[in-house]
Amino acid sequence: MGRVDLRVDGKVALVTGGSKGIGRAIGAALAGAGAKVVLTSRKQHLLDAAAAEIGGDTVGFAAHAGEPDSARAALAFAVDRFGGLDVLVNNAATNPYLGPVLGITESQMDKTVQVNQRALVTWTREAVAVGLGRHPGASVVNIASIGGLSVESGIGYYNVTKAAVLHLTRQLAAELAPAVRVNAIAPGLVKTDLARALWEEHGDTIAARTPLGRLGEPEDIASAALFLVSDAASWMTGASLVVDGGALLGPKLG
Ligand SMILES: NC(=O)c1ccc[n+]([C@@H]2O[C@H](COP(=O)([O-])OP(=O)(O)OC[C@H]3O[C@@H](n4cnc5c(N)ncnc54)[C@H](OP(=O)(O)O)[C@@H]3O)[C@@H](O)[C@H]2O)c1
């Protein structure tokens, strides 16, 4: 039997929301496995710092995930800088509202959909337009959430957009096969700024309830992303990998 190969040497990858948290860890994992990486988010100085720390062929380009012109500019930059595009990681997300779904305003809903859901279609469409899928081994990874598979208090509307990410993954996988594989990751609670309100106060209690006994680190998600873009996953498309320490199973038994 052949060796499982998680190297992605020479692939060009663009990671949205790449300045910190899960996106930054995905960028580092891909760069560490040989990829050339463009990190995008809204703040150039944070991207520059992340790219310098990751090293290798890693560079930052400021782009608002929810604005099509920004998407086009960032993808054109990636192609211009590195000569093509093999991997798109739709990772950026926002959560402007905490509370029951019926308390959300129209503009908060619009913002959540714009960045978490609509952007995924825009970036994927524009990535294909600049050549994603022209070469073998192309793939898209969408970062969803286990909240898209369950119900939770406080972040119900954000989770609606994450459920949409899971379905868009299946739909786009079917539409883009065989040229581009499209898969998703559904993380559980990971210690990043986005989820700080959820883990800062009650993190220990949540960790104790989680079957694997701890909260997630960005690297837990990055290793799944590296697997999905590598040739080791060349027969996977339309799939969603749950990476949650067992949280979806319910509280630890016994
Ligand atoms: N942390 C968790 O527990 C958890 C669980 C399940 C799923 N997720 C998902 O994992 C992904 C990454 O989240 P994270 O926890 O790593 O969050 P994070 O640490 O807050 O990082 C979010 C990243 O997205 C960027 N971003 C936010 N809004 C943006 C916009 N409008 N345009 C461009 N970039 C934007 C941020 O940079 P700027 O603000 O500088 O633009 C940053 O780089 C998200 O899809 C999130 O829904 C997280």
pLDDT digits (tens, 9 = 90+) for 237-248: 999 999 999 999
Confidence tier at 1 by pLDDT (50, 70, 90): low
Element (H, E) at 71: helix 68-82
At 79, list the tokens. 């192609």
CATH number for the segment(s) 12-237: 3.40.50.720
Closest CA to 99 of 178, 58, 147, 154: 154
Domain ranges in the chain are: 12-237
**Cβ(87) – ligand 1 distance below 6 Å:** no
d(CA 150, CA 161): 12
**Cβ(164) – ligand 1 distance below 6 Å:** no
pTM beyond 0.95: the answer is yes
At 135, list the tokens. 């070469």
At 29, list the tokens. 């994992």
Strands 180-187 and 240-243: parallel
**Cβ(46) – ligand 1 distance below 6 Å:** yes
pLDDT digits (tens, 9 = 90+) for 135-168: 999 999 999 999 999 999 999 999 999 999 999 9
Rounded to the nearest 10 degrees, how much is the dihedral formed by the CA atoms of 72, 76, 79, 85? Answer: 0
Chain position carrying tokens 């996977």: 236
Nearest residue (by CA) to ligand 1, atom 24, is 17
At 112, list the tokens. 């959540």
The ligand 1 atom nearest the CA atom of 91:
45
Region 180-194 average pLDDT:
98
Kindly list the catalytic residues.
Answer: 158
**Cβ(20) – ligand 1 distance below 6 Å:** yes
Nearest residue (by CA) to ligand 1, atom 47, is 93
